[in-house]
Structure 1
């Protein structure tokens, strides 16, 4: 099987599996236990927190381990809004956000919050001017992801953070698709909360973290108390150790992987010209992460394309794994100006360092066969 769905999940790396095994067999204690076995596990947990914080230039006490990106998003948003209720009830976001963010935000509309959804360009990028115009006196939170999970669009998070800091507005950034793939500096980007998931970068499933920027305010002190792991059960030390190992390994390959993805994207762009008018690459601007590619087809639904690829042992996606079972068109496609029908004619492919141009040739062979099939029917 040619796997082209790495944005959905990745296999655990050998390094991550080894770290998990070592931690599970040698650091198996409960971190809340006061005996030596518990203390050793807690020391390992502290080391992991320190190492992960250093990757984003953050403070280690601001790292809180979770079950993954969804829990991190929900915890961050609920916590930030809970302690800013007295300041205002206006939120700014985009329709491109992950479903966990949009659902968490929409739940606050029931308690009289209002939400502004920023427009994006045809390449799926937010305008700083549009954000500035959307800010109101009672705006308390802006939630904008770093890299879109379906289009690969990269948002100008450093410019966003700089603007929001001047206005004293919380900035939550979903970095599930960018952590370990693009550099991110929480201090330079003025990010107040950030979410990450392990299984997107060759670590185990069921592990992630939320980062909450330390502050001297009472609100932040209450926030960190709310998120302390000891309030949420026994900590998954082996999973966290495996996650940390995977993350550190990913950062050593950051530039190599990005250049490889750029090469694959450029190659695919050339090959796609063979089917001009039948398939189009979306959001392929300079503000695009080349490891995630969105393709739309003319008069062919993405689900049918996915099934045909699967028949030929190629795994692609019709969108985020969290939304594929829904019948509605993808919000991200509608946000960049596609009609509901066009939005259904979409597949996403995503790469790893193991992906080759030969893999893309196999994909193109299937698309050529599909094109011939469609032309015969006409």
Structure 2
């Protein structure tokens, strides 16, 4: 808040002795930041669009709540809504602008099919599940009607449980939202008090249905409505932050996992290479041994061949010597036998080169010789 402008006065004395009137120094001009605000709200600077669906029974104040947020004014006239949407630009904590689109839906059963189409086509990011704190039927329908509908059409979408018309509860309970019996109601009776839902009841129901949060508001106070809308925006912002953190953690864990697997693969590869080397060395050693054995076998075979060749050569030379000596002996023996058996004759002596013909008496026994001689 700027301080009020200050003024200073100066007094001067002229030569005539007349005193001049004080002069006020104008304050410094106030800086106009409207252009900067408009620039910040420029749709071109919007970083995200958030779609928020508003559901709940008819007459619980959904449309009035949205109009109070947009216009910052309280609308008393009730107009049943079939399908409508409102848009606003909000600045989040980190200075970024988001465009929040609020979808108003009809709560009557006659429009259930239209709501189903809206769930499918709009794809809401967050819901405001509304009930009236002075209408217990709408409070019960939160659990038995609207929660099953949200789960069936938008499973996993976060939602806030919102109690509306707190101003009417304050009127009926004497201004005590948490204790309906602390003071007598301004208007109504016991039946009216039984329809009132306290803040603790709302918190308990929110916990039962697993709502993200429980909040209360009145359309007569636009700031209370703005808190509800900002809470819905923050849910999505925090959800994305958590998602980024989880993704970062997941990414880091994935990197660690990949590094661990890579080290494991390197170890396995090193073991495999070492195993292959040992296998190759073993294979080369067996090949060398077989080659050495083969060479030794070849050498032994060559030695055996040489030995057999030498023995065969010795046999051949021995046979030659035997052949050379045997004819002489046979010739000498045959000549000696011829000398003994054949009588010497002049013809044989005269022609020694002529081979002698066998005598008729050769090859006969002594008895045959006697017989032959007797015949002669």
| TM-score (norm: length of structure 2) | 0.24
Q: Which has the higher contact order (CA 8 A, sep 6+)?
A: 1
In our comparison, the structure showing a higher alpha carbon Rg is: 2
**Structure (1 or 2) with the greater helix fraction:** 2
